[in-house]
Chain A
Amino acid sequence: GENVEQHPSTLSVQEGDSAVIKCTYSDSASNYFPWYKQELGKRPQLIIDIRSNVGEKKDQRIAVTLNKTAKHFSLHITETQPEDSAVYFCAGPNTGNQFYFGTGTSLTVIP
């Protein structure tokens, strides 16, 4: 089955700096890679996703890059703000319909 590894587990950045979170996967047939943001006590919410036919996708301050050869995809947040503080999860489906989530990255943006 799919194995998704996520790093780092915790990340602290100064407000205005960039944050990068990386996930690696094992199933070369995976074709969809979402990123979820979860605030304390709240539900996970999709912030951006990418499909395997593109290498990068950007939405304002958030971008995701995909390297299919190396089997990793990364979340990039630029000009971080305190409200970006949350836990971020990557996920990847296997060739079936399961979604395997990473272990999460706790991001703290220091004002």
Chain B
Amino acid sequence: GAGVSQTPSNKVTEKGKYVELRCDPISGHTALYWYRQSLGQGPEFLIYFQGTGAADDSGLPNDRFFAVRPEGSVSTLKIQRTERGDSAVYLCASSSSGGARTQYFGPGTRLLVL
């Protein structure tokens, strides 16, 4: 079946602009995660959804970052007033449920803030 997909694959924006990153999880997966990966680092947890609700958003770095999953499937990560330090690869992952379950990653969105 189809895996996790993310769009766009690359996004270049200017400092101060607003961006939206989209994640389509594997069909039927109730758990969805957003991570940020900087060069040479491991994925850094941002937020976890179980169904439509954000069960854990403690990894969001500040209030410029926000994510939604209104129908329990597709999720959008929104970044306001982007800064150069936001440049990274944003990864989405889904699993059949939360906790100790395999997470399947999408290809990521490479964000570059100029």
Contact = CB atoms under 8 A, between A and B. Distances in A.
Do A and B interact?
yes
Chain A interface mostly: strand
B110 to A, nearest CB: 9
B59 A101 contact: no
B7 interface: no
Interface of A: 6, 31-32, 34, 36, 42-46, 49, 51, 89, 91, 93, 96-104
Given A43-B105, A43-B107, A44-B91, A98 B99 contact: no
Interface in B16-59: 31, 33, 35, 40-45, 48, 50, 55-56, 58-59
Given A32-B99, A44-B91, A103 B41 contact: yes
A49 B98 CA distance: 16
Contact of A98 (B48, B102, B105, B108): B48
Nearest to A9: B40
